């Protein structure tokens, strides 16, 4: 028998970036745990598919097209959730981007990580830097700000931010991405302190290597895959369902005494 504290029956969850990969996996496991789920991303066909999968599990679901870099669209996402379900108990800030690139392009110089760079002849632009920050950090600010009034009023809530083990491991050609993920960890810590008196838990998950569209090249290029596996003490990459199960724990009463933490699920990579 599973302890009742791990159940989230009757909860309402919002998951961004839910059309595929990590977001979809988390959406489905939360539904298995008993939550109704509002799934969001920019690609309607993908989130409709996720919503259909949630409904097959016996839970209610709606798909809301949302560009998380636009604060008004994130506000609308939360408003739609409350209109449809009457409340919001869980927010998973998952949407994000990654564009490997060297900070400054130097002809003929191959920086560590250069094999993943698709545009080696150009330096990182203002637009590329801001896109990463908007998608990976500002989106979480917009989401937590939008959901805050509802959770503060009900004096309860679970916020789960998706960071990365890249927040604590330096990697060449990933300055914007790693910097943004480190910012997510600090945002998580500060907001956890601010909202702790209101029984709102704010935690983060720091995934290591999982197969997603963002990381596809590391699996499809033989030497990149070999290098990746050599840096994982357990010797293999994770299953997306593992992330869903961790999110379920953080969304459930079982984690009520945990807040302000980033849990790295990475086969030991961040322990090296």
pLDDT band for position 110 (cuts 50, 70, 90)? confident
The structure tokens listed for 253 are: 């009463």
Question: What pLDDT score was predicted for residue 86?
Answer: 98
Q: Kindly name the residue from 142, 177, 219, 257 that is annotated as catalytic.
A: 177
Say if residue 6's pLDDT is above 90. Answer: yes
> In this structure, what are the phi and psi dihedrals at residue 138, rounded to the nearest 5 degrees?
-60, -35
Does the active-site annotation cover 177? Answer: yes
Q: Mind listing the pLDDT tens digit for each residue in 217-247?
A: 778 778 888 888 999 999 999 999 999 999 9
Residue 68 CA to residue 91 CA, distance in Å, equals 13
234: alpha, beta or left? (left if phi > 0; alpha if psi -120 to 50): alpha
pLDDT score of 111 = 84
Instruction: Give the pLDDT score at 223.
Output: 82
Q: Kindly report the pTM of this predicted structure.
A: 0.95
161: helix, coil or strand?
A: strand
52: CB partners within 8 A, 6+ apart: 61
Arithmetic mean of pLDDT over the chain: 95
* pLDDT over 80 at 213, yes or no: no
What ranges do the domains of the chain cover? Answer: 4-271
CA pair distance 61, 243, nearest whole angstrom: 20
Model pLDDT, residue 215: 72
d(CA 238, CA 247): 14
What percentage of the chain reaches a pLDDT higher than 70? 100
What is the share, in percent, of the chain residues with pLDDT greater than 90? 85
User: Out of 3.40.640.10, 3.40.50.300, 3.40.50.720, 3.90.1150.10, which CATH number does the structure's domain 4-271 have?
Assistant: 3.40.50.720
């Amino acid at each position: 028998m599973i302890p009742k504290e791990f159940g989230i029956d009757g909860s309402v969850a919002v998951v961004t970036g839910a059309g595929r990969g990590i977001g979809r996996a988390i959406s489905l496991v939360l539904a298995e745990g008993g939550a109704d789920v509002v799934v969001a991303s920019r690609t309607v066909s993908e989130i409709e598919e996720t919503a259909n999968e949630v409904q097959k599990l016996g839970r209610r679901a709606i798909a809301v097209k949302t560009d998380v870099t636009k604060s008004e669209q994130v506000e609308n996402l939360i408003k739609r959730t409350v209109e449809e379900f009457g409340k919001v108990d869980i927010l998973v800030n998952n949407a994000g981007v990654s564009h490997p690139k060297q900070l400054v392009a130097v002809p003929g110089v191959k920086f560590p990580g250069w094999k993943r760079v698709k545009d080696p002849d150009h330096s990182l632009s203002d637009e590329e830097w801001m896109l990463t920050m908007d998608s990976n950090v500002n989106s979480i600010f917009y989401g937590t700000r939008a959901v805050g009034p509802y959770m503060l009023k009900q004096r309860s809530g679970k916020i789960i931010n998706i960071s990365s083990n890249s927040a604590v491991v330096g990697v060449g050609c990933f300055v914007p991405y790693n910097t943004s993920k480190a910012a997510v960890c600090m945002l998580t810590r500060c907001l956890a302190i601010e909202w702790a008196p209101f029984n709102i838990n704010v935690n983060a998950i720091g995934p290591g290597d999982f197969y997603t569209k963002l990381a596809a090249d590391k699996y499809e290029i033989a030497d990149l895959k070999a290098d990746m596996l050599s840096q994982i003490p357990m010797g293999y990459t994770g299953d997306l369902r593992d992330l869903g199960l961790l999110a379920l724990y953080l969304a459930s009463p079982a984690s009520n005494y945990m807040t302000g933490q980033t849990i790295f699920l990475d086969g030991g990579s961040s322990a090296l």
